[in-house]
């Protein structure tokens, strides 16, 4: 008989979702008979858990690996995060391109028909189409024992899943995080959406409130606004994306205002009540109370770690309900035989960060006897991208962080208004900003604001990782015309600062000898 695992909450159950479920949580799945002892038991089949399990099992050295998932294989990224959000964002960009086509000599119709249901169906179809990469069958074929159900530690060597006892030498906690619910009176009773439910929409909400002006809130606020929702974006601080470079955040905020989005900043949510015609949000701003009625509320204001139900106390694993499982720089918990990776324990809550951390865990759990040669989380150079339009991509230090480390800095900024390809593309709003150590070409950090900034930041990330400075970037030939040429322009600008009178004199002397 199939194991007694719960049915995942996924809506609507159409052909695409049935395909998805057949891959990531088949209802007829029968958990295997447990091995006598596993080299690794991995709890959670999001990005971190999948990479640990596949990486360890795929080495071909006979390791016994168990992977436990209580909901959907693939975790947030595949099912309710990166993949569906980028599909919806792509549709919203298509709409923006049509609306903004006039300067390119193309006259769009007055009324653009947006088929919201078709947008969401496209997303579900793409999600289902790539879900086989994270499927139970793929991982079984890799030699991983996949258990669908909730895991709980019972002692320092055993996890129980649906009554099955999984003995382990080492375990990895990769249970991820979930959307945080603001403590607002009446919000739960009125009902709200999070990233876990918003992609189940088939009907477009006419009036949509978005709570949270961070990356998730901004990305989806812009996307749904472009898809025809009247979006009101609530943020507790004075500026959107206030953890980002201030110049970059200002470009996004002004862009939102030009697109007609309502921004309600420096506000405090007081209460929410459901009415016959919608949901009314009561909030205070500048000492005055206001009200706004909407049809749906999307909450994108932070993440909470999934630490509940694991019985971590039984195995001496310290955790905090807000910050997650406590780990050291080697991703080792307070129990030396148990490690953690991904959103459950890290400030970097990105898929690529979970992937990188998982690789550290594989090395440190399996190939670092007596602690020799262990890898450190702090050695990672972590880029990230906010997928608004334009995007904000960042890597390395911000100026304030560099100064806190006692580093003197210089900044080079190149506007895309000086880059030929950006001019031709009509995408001149944005910049490349590179922070380097004063008196040196050492790159400390960089921020790029461009429509495809995420595709450009890796060049600078590679330079930081390989300790190549601005002089090396200046010598890299960039195809013309590309927007990435802005990086070379920034590096060339640094080289020009080296032309002090003494060096100019030397150059003049060399020309006489040539």
CA-based R_g, the chain, Å: 25
- Which residue ranges make up the annotated binding site for FAD? 86, 343
Residues 26/136, Cβ–Cβ less than 8 Å: yes
Number of domains in the chain: 3
Is residue 246, in this structure, part of any structural domain at all?
yes
Q: Report whether 487 contacts 432 (CB < 8 A).
A: yes
Contact 29, 3 (CB under 8 A): yes
Asked whether residue 484 is assigned to any structural domain, the reply reads yes
Lowest mean pLDDT across 346-360, 387-401, 461-475, 498-512: 498-512
Please indicate, yes or no, if residue 333 is contained in any of the structural domains: yes
**Domain limit, last residue, from 276, 301, 326:** 301
Return the pLDDT at 4. 45
pLDDT digits (tens, 9 = 90+) for 192-226: 999 999 999 999 999 999 999 999 999 999 999 99
Sequence-distant (≥ 6) Cβ neighbours of residue 127 within 8 angstroms: 16, 20, 78, 79, 83, 84, 87
| CB neighbours of residue 279 within 10 Å | 22
Model confidence at 11, pLDDT cuts 50, 70, 90, reads confident
Could you tell me if residue 168 is inside a domain?
yes
Mean pLDDT score across all residues of the chain:
95
Same domain, 290 and 395: no
CATH of residue 48: 3.50.50.60
**Same structural domain, 289 and 349:** no
If asked whether residues 215 and 170 sit together in one domain, one would say: no
One domain for residues 353 and 467: no
Per the annotation, where are the binding residues? 86, 212-219, 302, 343
Which of these three, 301, 326, 358, is where a domain ends?
A: 301
Q: Which domain holds residue 334?
A: 25-73+137-178+304-368
262 and 411 fall within a common domain: no
Model pLDDT, residue 400: 96
Do 364 and 438 lie in one domain? The reply is no
Per-residue pLDDT at 379: 98
In a shared domain, residues 144 and 260? no
Binding residues for NAD(+): 212-219, 302
Specify the CATH number for the domain of residue 439.
Answer: 3.30.390.30
Domain's final residue, options 270, 301, 332? 301
């Amino acid at each position: 008989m199939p194991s007694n695992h719960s049915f995942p909450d996924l809506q609507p159950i159409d052909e695409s979702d049935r395909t998805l479920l057949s891959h990531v949580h088949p209802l007829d799945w029968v958990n295997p008979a447990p091995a006598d002892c596993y080299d690794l038991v991995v709890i959670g089949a999001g990005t971190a858990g999948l990479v640990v399990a596949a990486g360890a099992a795929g080495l071909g050295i006979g390791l016994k690996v168990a992977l436990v998932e209580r909901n959907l294989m693939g975790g947030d990224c595949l099912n309710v995060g990166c993949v569906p959000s980028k599909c919806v964002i792509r549709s919203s960009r298509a709409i923006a391109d049509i609306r903004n086509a006039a300067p390119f000599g193309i006259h769009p119709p007055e009324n653009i028909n947006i088929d919201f249901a078709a947008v969401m169906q496209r997303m579900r179809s793409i999600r289902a189409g790539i879900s086989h990469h994270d499927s139970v069958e793929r991982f079984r074929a890799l030699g991983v024992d996949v258990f669908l159900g909730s895991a709980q530690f019972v002692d320092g060597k055993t996890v129980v899943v649906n009554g099955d006892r999984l003995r382990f030498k080492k375990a990895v906690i990769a249970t991820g995080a979930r959307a945080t619910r603001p403590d607002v009176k009446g919000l739960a009773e009125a009902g709200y959406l999070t990233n876990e439910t918003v992609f189940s929409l088939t009907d477009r909400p006419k009036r949509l409130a978005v709570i949270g002006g961070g990356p998730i809130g901004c990305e989806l606020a812009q996307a749904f606004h472009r898809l025809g929702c009247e979006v009101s974006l609530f943020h507790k601080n004075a500026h959107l994306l206030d953890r980002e470079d201030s110049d970059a955040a200002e470009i996004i905020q002004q862009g939102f205002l030009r697109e007609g989005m309502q921004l309600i900043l420096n506000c405090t949510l007081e209460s929410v009540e459901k009415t016959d015609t919608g949901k009314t949000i009561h909030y205070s701003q500048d000492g005055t109370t206001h009200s706004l009625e909407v049809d749906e509320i999307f909450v994108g204001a932070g993440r909470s770690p999934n630490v509940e139900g694991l019985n971590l106390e039984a195995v001496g694993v310290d955790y905090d309900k807000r910050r997650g499982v406590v780990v050291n720089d080697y991703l080792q918990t307070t129990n030396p035989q148990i490690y953690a990776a991904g959103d459950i324990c890290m400030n970097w809550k990105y898929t690529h960060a979970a992937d990188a951390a998982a690789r550290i865990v594989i090395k440190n759990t399996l190939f670092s006897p007596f602690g020799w040669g262990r890898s450190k989380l702090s050695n990672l150079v972590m880029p990230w991208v906010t997928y608004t339009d334009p995007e904000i991509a960042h890597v390395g230090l911000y100026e304030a962080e560099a100064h806190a480390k006692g580093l003197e800095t210089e900044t080079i900024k190149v506007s895309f208004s000086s880059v030929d390809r950006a001019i031709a593309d009509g995408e001149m709003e944005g910049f490349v900003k590179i922070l380097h150590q004063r008196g040196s070409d050492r790159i400390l950090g960089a921020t790029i604001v461009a429509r495809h900034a995420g595709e450009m930041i890796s060049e600078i990330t590679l330079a930081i990782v390989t300790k190549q400075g601005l002089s090396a970037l200046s010598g890299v030939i960039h195809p013309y015309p590309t927007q990435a040429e802005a990086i070379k322009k920034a590096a060339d600008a640094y080289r020009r600062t080296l032309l002090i009178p003494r060096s100019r004199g030397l150059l003049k002397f060399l020309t006489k000898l040539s």
